[in-house]
Chains A and B, each alone.
Chain A
Amino acid sequence: MFVIIRRLSVIMFCALLGGLVAGAQDDLADERILLTFIPNIQFAPFYVGIENGYFSDAGYDITLEHLHEPDVLDLVAVGQANYGIVSGEQVILARSRDRDVVYVFEWFQQYPVGIVATGHNGLGLYDIGDLRGRRVGIPGRFGASYTGLTAMLHGAGLAEGDIELVEIGFNAPEAFCLQTVDAAVVYVNNEPLQIINRSLAGQCGDIGIPDVFPASDYADLVSNGLIVSRSHLNDNPGRVALMVGALRDALRFAIDNPAAAYLASLPHVDALPRESELVAALTEAAARQGDFLYAIPGRDEVAAGREALRSRLRQQFDNETLAQMEVLLNSIELWDAEVLGYSDLASWETMRDTLARMDLLGDDLGDLNAAFTNEFVAVDDA
């Protein structure tokens, strides 16, 4: 009899505990974050936010969805979603067309677009100024690539008419390796790596190792970041602050411990290499980095640690296995800053002037101060 009572007590305790856990989970608010592109290692901070509990600690049960950038913006603007990630130029363009969205967290501190070219095959493309009269591939005359190119050309004293612009879709590595273009507008954290790997594998003709010219060397443009609608911001500033805080902490974690960020991304990105040797090496690296971070190292020390990790992994694994980890490490260089999430008025002005030069804005250039706020990022870090 005593045994039965004891077993019943255990069962009831477990049921109660289960109910409490379920209740705690029920307290989380369902929330969507709309992202662009497809599930990819470049979204590692969001996967870290989910897997390591940064979002749930902030009270959110997050679902990630991938859409085209204008769709992300429109859905946030009309309140069908509260949070989205878009590029800065999309915010300015959208606001000029009555979409009242506010940029609350600058995720990419450096504009990710650049131009890949090579001077090694006799074309003599050693600088953006050398592009005059050359065939330059671009996904299309829209979006961040086109804006970045325009800003770069302007910075080098060129205009679009000085080059032959060729729309190649998102096929820059193929077009570049097949030499159908002399240079190509790319995302600097990803596509140059693909070209280099193909070149090293002998699949890229006589291109050799290409040179990469980041747009950030020519102009300070506001890049990808978190947006909310004005009405959501006004009605729920506390919730926005919690979301920004969770994203900032997840981003900092990914920057500080890329091996752990890669492991957190595995359940979300099917195409990530996940050989047991790689996972074991990253698990060990993540644990070691965790210990290292207890000493509260400076940014430079952490950055040096990332490069040391890259070197160690390169000695252990081939280019193909390591490609996505390298994309993550390259992306981190674009994310890292002393104050994460902070965006500068000057970069907004440069972006607005670039868009105006492209004839994409009307006479009313809008109030840039209403386009973004640092209210939620400066509090803890500044």
Chain B
Amino acid sequence: MQSNPDHDNYRSAQKRKLALRRLSPLMTILFLLLLWQWLSDRELVSPILVPPPADVYAAFAAALDDGSLVKHTLVTLGEMLYGLLLGVAIGLVLGYAIAKAPLLEYILSPIIVAFQSTPIVAYAPLLIIWFGTGPTSKIVTTAVIVFFPSLVNAIVGIRSVSPRLRDLMTSLNAGPWRAFRLLELPSALPVILAGLKTSTTLAVIGAVVGEFVSAGSGLGYLVTTARYQFDTPLVIVSVLTMTAIALSLYSLVAYVEWRSLAWQRRSAA
């Protein structure tokens, strides 16, 4: 069987494009690192404000070596995951209920919109007073911030189910549970997972805002103490760790989305 040269060229061009697309985030990071090093070498910005990458790496190695970075990261991660679980669960359940009973939307929307439109930093101190200075207040702060995207996407997802398919389920005498399992959940899943991706990135903000207000551990606490000790490299290490956590969780949800929606891609193909 002879291969088609045009087709081969097209395929290799596509492969190169794909590889470039996959490498582009790494290239952006590399470019920023080089720019950072270049600015530091020429002392175009004060090392007090922006320490050189080598100092940040040294702070990273030291914090890793003495165990403080792992300890504080685990604290923040724990608060985030519990908060994410709580906020998303409440958001999904309430979102489903609102999608099914529009009256609930009228009743609850003033509270929900009020909570969402107020910056979390404004009422985080209140959450600390109400829920104590321990991890509970950080979990609640996280839950509050991740709740809204889950809620909205659950409402949109359930309401976007095709009426034609609903009629089909009714004609097949499917009960509410079967309709939910076989129709509503699969139909709403892409939108719900999109909301979950937003929620995972917001979860870092929730936990760290809570830690900024009051904490004895966690990455927010590490930033505050490092700042008061003028350890700017450690501040940057903490911030980059938060970014890494957010990116990892986002990627995890994206992977789950890719796996769980395989049927959708197959049916589209």
Query: Closest CB-CB distance, A170 to chain B, in whole Å?
Result: 8
Given A166-B133, A171-B214, A180-B132: A98 touches B48 (CB 8 Å cut-off): yes
Q: Is the CB of B227 within 8 A of A141?
A: no
Chain B: minimal CB distance from A10 (Å) = 54
State which residues 44-71 of B face A: CB under 8 Å.
46-49
Number of interface residues, chain A, beta carbon within 8 A: 30
CB contacts (< 8 Å) of B228 on chain A: these are: 69-70, 90, 93, 142-143
The yes or no answer to B31 lying at the interface (CB within 8 A) is no
Question: Cβ of A169 and Cβ of B48 under 8 Å apart?
Answer: no
> Would B133 and A168 count as touching, CB distance under 8 A?
yes
Tell me the count of chain B residues lying within 8 A, CB to CB, of chain A. Answer: 21
Binds B, one of A52-60, A73-81, A190-198, A278-286: A73-81
A169–B230 CB distance below 8 A: no
Q: Are A99 and B230 in contact (CB under 8 A)?
A: yes
A-B residue pair count with CB separations less than 8 angstroms: 68
Inside 8 A of B47's CB, which chain A residues have their CB?
98
Flag whether B224 is at the interface (Cβ < 8 A): yes
- List residues of chain B with CB within 8 A of the CB of A171: 125, 128-129, 133, 214
**B131 CB to closest chain A CB, in angstroms?**
11
- Residue contact A74 to B49, C-beta cutoff 8 Å: yes
Tell me the smallest distance from the CB of B71 to a CB of chain A, in Å.
14
Complex Cα distance, B227 from A68, in Å, reads 10
Q: Does A174 contact B (CB under 8 A)?
A: yes
CB-CB under 8 A for A142 and B48, given A169-B213, A171-B128, A171-B129? no
User: Residues of A at under 8 Å CB distance from B?
Assistant: 68-70, 73-74, 77-78, 90, 93-94, 96-99, 139-143, 165-171, 174-175, 180, 360
List 13 interface pairs A-B (beta carbons < 8 Å), by A numbering.
A93-B229, A97-B229, A97-B230, A98-B48, A140-B215, A140-B221, A142-B224, A165-B216, A166-B216, A169-B125, A171-B128, A174-B129, A360-B229
- With contacts A97-B230, A99-B48, A169-B214 known, what are 17 further pairs, Cβ within 8 A? A69-B228, A70-B230, A73-B230, A93-B229, A96-B230, A98-B47, A140-B216, A140-B224, A141-B225, A142-B229, A166-B133, A166-B216, A167-B216, A169-B125, A170-B125, A171-B128, A171-B129
